[in-house]
Chain A
């Protein structure tokens, strides 16, 4: 115990703090880039999955196959597959890019399910009414379905992204310098494992907890219809 405390001044050197801050920035950048891109791509996947008509059948099947299979593969396996696939065809690909692609593939599959749930929560008759009013499929989607499904989509999507901050710890395995990887590095340099991993766990908590609370707040706020939200001042 004294040994661990004795290392504390050494451990908290400006160098190490900058090192860890950089790693935190990397973790956050990976999460936001991967999940953000995945969220956008997921809309396209859902759009394909819901395209009617016989000609679209193979595309529909492909979208279903993609979503259902990637949700059943561990993220670590996805990361390794993307790493070795890209490494086989492109020399010296950036590891950050590989990690973002892996996260994006994984996040797209999960977000697609969330978004589909949101779209399906819009009552059927609304879509039929839009069709009767001669709305095109695109107009129905952007003017009827999406505005109404936001409250259903946004909270779970937020929860998924926040949870993914923790999953990025696995990306260190393919060599990206994020927080978990830096932790191992400091541990290998001779700093106490209890000290290093305790600090790393705390740093993950610092990143994850505020966003979790924000997600809960968002969920509560969006769950109440706009008309029932407390209004600060009446005009």
Chain B
């Protein structure tokens, strides 16, 4: 069987695809930034002195990181209406991404907290740093520098996982490609172009995150 590729019909609808790509980035940004605050709170709980707080946060993180995000969104989108909570598909996906970020981000930040050594704080104390100065000049820079590369990496993974929004009919990049493919039956071409756009987006994100890291936090950039 011979298959003739026709990329023309897909390139003709590039504006739609780019709009989809914009929505993909929007979902990733919302999921990432809104998830960071709960992630920080959870990480603080997990390293707190109270055993109950530690256990609670630990159970939450363990459960969320061991079950698929897709199932969480299924649960919210198909399950919650039964008890009278109706979520818009966009909202369900965004909440799914936020909870995922809160759990994975918590693990990343906890690793950052653990990387600060007692001796560093003692050294700052010896040099006459006040408590606030210790936090601002010693602890925070250290945590940021260990956490930043992992979070940047997580942002890329999150951007890729927004593609599951397509299953719920959200018109992000993959959803748009799927719609175009169902219009003209050019599935291979549509998904190849979508894949290309994903590569471009994530590569641009990696590059800019590496430069921001280098410039703002003096994190050594690693692109490949």
**Chain A 1-30 against B: per-residue CB contact (8 Å), 1 yes, 0 no?**
101100000000000000000000000000
Q: Total A-B pairs in contact (CB under 8 Å)?
A: 115
> Which chain B positions have C-beta within 8 A of A74?
160-164, 174, 198
Q: Are A194 and B82 in contact (CB under 8 A)?
A: yes
Interface size on B, residues (CB 8 A): 41
CA A1 – CA B83 in complex, angstroms?
Answer: 7
**Chain B 162-202 against A: per-residue CB contact (8 Å), 1 yes, 0 no?**
11101100000010001000000001100110110011001
With CB as the reference atom, state the residue of chain A lying closest to B186. A84
Mark the stretch among B7-15, B44-52, B59-67, B126-134 that contacts chain A.
B59-67
Query: CB < 8 Å: which of A69, A81, A85, A180 contacts B74?
Result: A180
CA A88 – CA B24 in complex, angstroms?
Answer: 28
Q: Are B192 and A81 in contact (CB under 8 A)?
A: yes
Q: Are B66 and A198 in contact (CB under 8 A)?
A: no
Q: Are B71 and A180 in contact (CB under 8 A)?
A: yes
> Which chain A positions have C-beta within 8 A of B192?
81
Q: Are A73 and B199 in contact (CB under 8 A)?
A: yes
Q: Are A205 and B79 in contact (CB under 8 A)?
A: no
> Which chain A positions have C-beta within 8 A of B202?
72
Q: Are A72 and B191 in contact (CB under 8 A)?
A: no
Q: Are B66 and A204 in contact (CB under 8 A)?
A: yes
Q: Are B82 and A192 in contact (CB under 8 A)?
A: yes
Query: CB < 8 Å: which of A68, A195, A197 contacts B224?
Result: A68
Q: Are A205 and B63 in contact (CB under 8 A)?
A: yes
With CB as the reference atom, state the residue of chain B lying closest to A4. B82
> Which chain B positions have C-beta within 8 A of A187?
74, 78
> Which chain A positions have C-beta within 8 A of B72?
201
**Chain B 131-157 against A: per-residue CB contact (8 Å), 1 yes, 0 no?**
000000000000000000000000010
Q: Are B199 and A69 in contact (CB under 8 A)?
A: yes
Q: Are B188 and A89 in contact (CB under 8 A)?
A: no
Q: Are B68 and A204 in contact (CB under 8 A)?
A: yes
Q: 9 closest pairs, A vs B, by CB?
A: A193-B79, A74-B163, A193-B78, A169-B68, A166-B68, A194-B79, A197-B75, A84-B187, A208-B66
Binding site for B on A (CB under 8 A): 1, 3-4, 68-69, 72-78, 80-81, 84-85, 88-89, 166-167, 169-170, 173, 180, 183-184, 187, 192-198, 200-201, 204-205, 208-209, 212
Listed by A's residue number, 7 A-B pairs whose Cβ atoms lie within 8 Å are A72-B202, A74-B164, A81-B188, A183-B74, A197-B74, A197-B75, A205-B67
Given contacts A74-B160, A85-B188, 17 further A-B contacts (CB under 8 A): A72-B160, A73-B160, A74-B198, A76-B174, A77-B163, A77-B174, A80-B187, A81-B191, A183-B74, A193-B78, A197-B78, A197-B79, A198-B75, A201-B71, A201-B75, A204-B67, A208-B67
